Amino acid sequence: MRAHEPIAPPSAALLPLEARAWLEFAALLPAWPILRGAPEGDGHPVLVLPGWLANDSSTRALRWFLRGRGYHAHGWRLGRNYGPSSTTVRLLVARFLEVRARHDRRLTVIGWSLGGIYARELARAFPAEVRQVITLATPFRDVDATSVARFYRAGLGPRPEGDPMEIRRRLREPLSVPTTSFYSRSDGIVAWQSCLTDDGPLCENVEVRTSHCGMGHHPSVLLAIAERLAHPEGHWRPLSPRRPLPWAALSSVFGA
């Protein structure tokens, strides 16, 4: 895929599949015995950022799970995510620096959908302070390749200031920190192709079988995130397709 080629939004036929997000959330209870077996971490801080029009309630299950694995998981505490206004950017940077100062350790930043754009840009601005970035269904390759892009084009959502072409180029640029991008081919909100990062030693794309609205609490994704976070600092490595991934089987069992 060429970087400059526009990506079409997902098929309208996929949108009704987003209703399964409730089933994916309900799957947390029967999946609990498996989730308890997820690897525990070293207690480093994790900042979790919600998607467009969502707030910290949407990431509560993910943060609860991460705290159970021993991490200091934090929400963004900025209310509903209405888009990248100058005020949102300023307050998010302040929140990031606050969490960094409180724990005096490098952060992992996890962003869901639009929240993943924020996560990547925080890592770009503060690479020495970010341990790794994990994005969930984030269209950083083409921010217009979504079923909600028409709202922005109609002026119903703020857009970042600056030259649009330059912004699109910057968003696609690889990061200097370890990066994992989760995507789903059955995503009804975001075109999965727009979530793919370029190949490199510090980046990877991980396919899961979830909805867009349920990706942040799907049991298989939670287990995969725990596996990503458990790597010792400075010893990150991508998931190997040659070794068994017990969590992957959950995609076809719970809510897929």
Question: For residue 3, is it within any domain?
Answer: no
Can you read off the two tokens belonging to residue 121? 């840009």
pLDDT at 74: 98
Summarize pLDDT for 52-97 with one digit per residue, the tens: 999 999 999 999 999 999 999 999 999 999 998 999 999 999 999 9
Question: For residue 191, is it within any domain?
Answer: yes
Question: For residue 238, is it within any domain?
Answer: no
Give the structural domain span for 142: 12-232+245-252
Q: What percentage of the chain carries pLDDT values higher than 70?
A: 86
Task: Look up tokens 């390759």; give the residue.
Answer: 141
Question: For residue 5, is it within any domain?
Answer: no
Summarize pLDDT for 85-120 with one digit per residue, the tens: 999 999 999 999 999 999 999 999 999 999 999 999
pLDDT at 149: 62
Summarize pLDDT for 225-250 with one digit per residue, the tens: 999 999 999 999 987 654 434 444 44
* Entry field: residues in the chain: 256
27 pLDDT exceeds 70? Answer: yes
Domain count along the chain: 1
Mean pLDDT along residues 116-126: 97
For 17-67, the DSSP string reads: GGGGHHHHHHTTTTTHHHHTTSPP----EEEEE--TT--GGGGHHHHHHHH
Q: What is the CATH number of the domain that holds 136?
A: 3.40.50.1820
3-state secondary structure 199-240: CECCEEEEECCCCCCCHHHCHHHHHHHHHHHCCCCCCCCCCC
Question: For residue 239, is it within any domain?
Answer: no
Question: For residue 43, is it within any domain?
Answer: yes
b/e per residue 58-96 (b: at least 16 CB within 10 A): bbbebbebbeebbbbbbbbebeebebbeeebbeebeebb
Q: How far is it, in rounded angstroms, from Cα 105 to Cα 145?
A: 35
Can you read off the two tokens belonging to residue 54? 């969502």
pLDDT at 256: 41
Look over the chain and give the mean of its residue pLDDT values, rounded to a whole number.
88
Question: For residue 2, is it within any domain?
Answer: no
Contact 217, 209 (CB under 8 A): no
Q: How far is it, in rounded angstroms, from Cα 157 to Cα 26?
A: 31
pLDDT band at 255 (very low <50, low <70, confident <90, very high): very low
CA angle 224, 230, 234 (to 5 degrees): 120
Question: For residue 91, is it within any domain?
Answer: yes
